[in-house]
Amino acid sequence: MTVPGDYTTIGAALFFALPNDSVLVFPGIYEENLEWPVFRPGLTLLGTDGPDVTIIDGGGDDTVIGIYTAVDSTTLIRGFTITNGYAAGA
């Protein structure tokens, strides 16, 4: 599945992703705070053209990518600049 394309936001793509799916994100600035979905082993989130042109901006409101579920070595997040977030409890 692709963002934009199949979904307009990364969060929507993650919500509908199944185990072992790949979410391919094309260049742009995505102003989102994401929560990693539960029970999605093997899920890949990939910035297609790399971190210089694919940015997830949390807007300073929260963590940018919150992972509150168990993940394993098959989970992958790659190809993004992640900015304007803060650590939970900070």
For residue 35, pLDDT beyond 90: yes
Higher local confidence (pLDDT), 40 or 30: 30
Which tokens is 20 given?
């072992």
Neighbour tally for 15: CB within 10 Å: 12
Is residue 11 helix, strand or coil? helix
| φ, ψ (nearest 5 deg) of residue 16 | -95, -5
| Structure confidence by residue, pLDDT tens digits, 37-88 | 998 999 999 999 999 999 999 999 889 999 988 888 999 999 999 999 987 6
